[in-house]
Amino acid sequence: MLVNQRTVAEIVRFEGKGLHTGTFSRIAIHPAPADSGIVFVRTDLDSPVKINALAENVTSTARSTTISNGDVSVVTIEHIMSALTGLGIDNALIEVEGVEIPILDGSARPYVEAIKTVEQDAPRRYVEIPEAVEVKDEQSGSFVRIEPADSFSASITVDFSSKVLGVQTASYDEQTDYASEIAVCRTFVFFHEIEFLLRNNLIKGGDVDNAIVIVEHPVSEEQLAFVSSVLGDKKQIAVTSEGYLNNLTLHFPDECGRHKLLDLIGDIRLAGGFPKAKITAFKPGHGINTTAAKAVRQLVNNQ
């Protein structure tokens, strides 16, 4: 079946602070011509700088995905890239006033709720995988395998050796309702990680509304009070019987696994479009995801 390209039907705007930098930013997602792909533009500089959303432009995967053009970067693009993919958007121009995409509620839901799409008079250009490719991290055991297929699908297994999370699996294909099953799933962090990051001023934009916090080890009232004070919570933070902070209620028992799938979808989109591929991933993360997208780019470009 012939599928045409799509773009956003109208300009959509968002604003807020970045999770990692804590800096306030504004973004505007504009319609874009057919065959232009996804392009970010830093408009807060003396001269606007365009950065194509492609794997070869990835410059950091430390807790999020960053793309750059020279010394100009846009940080934490994975959620918006995932949303655009889940909505079937081929082309968009994203103006960014600031260095980091706003974290919003930690998921892709704000995007899918606000964005309307429109069909364009051009057939979709798929990323056709000529042969299977697999990238591995021998130290962690992580891998991402990408195989040729007639349509896009992804299955992941998440294992943090966590008694709270356990081993979680999640999958996506063209029959999945991305908006209700994937987009709503929020980012997550372990309490011991967030406490360290907060004490060392390394996570400046976190608050109680944009992350699931997993409590893997016993914590004291003093630790809870410290995190509560830094995150600006208005109520007493406590640990639930399931092992999470009570700042949020889970949408799904496996919401954390589904969020890792959300991230994977956004990172793999950096292969340059909608891949006709079956993806299988174990312990995926931004580093190995974007390495896999880069390997696909190299395969396709070398045909």
Of 3, 286, 284, 5, nearest to 171 by C-alpha is 284
Q: Where are the beta strands (DSSP E) in 138-292?
A: 142-148, 153-159, 167-172, 188-190, 212-214, 275-282
Rounded to the nearest 5°, which phi and psi values hold at 73? Answer: -130, 160
Of 179, 40, 149, nearest to 98 by C-alpha is 40
How many Cβ atoms are within 10 Å of 208's Cβ, its own excluded? 18
Rounded to the nearest 5°, which phi and psi values hold at 74? Answer: -130, 125
Do 164 and 242 meet the contact criterion of CB atoms below 8 Å apart?
Answer: yes
* Residue 275, C-beta contacts closer than 8 angstroms, at least 6 positions apart: 126, 127, 129, 146, 152, 268, 296
Of 63, 64, 62, 42, nearest to 52 by C-alpha is 42
Give me 10's structure tokens: 């109208």
Q: From the candidates 20, 79, 259, 286, give the one annotated as an active-site residue.
A: 286
- What's the rounded Cα separation, in Å, for the pair 92 and 39? 6
The residues pairing with 68 across neighbouring beta strands, listed in sequence order, are: 73
Active site residue 286: yes
For the chain, helix (H) and strand (E) counts, in that order, are 7, 18
CB-neighbour burial class of residue 126 (10 A; exposed 0-12, middle 13-18, buried 19+): middle
Residues belonging to the active site: 286
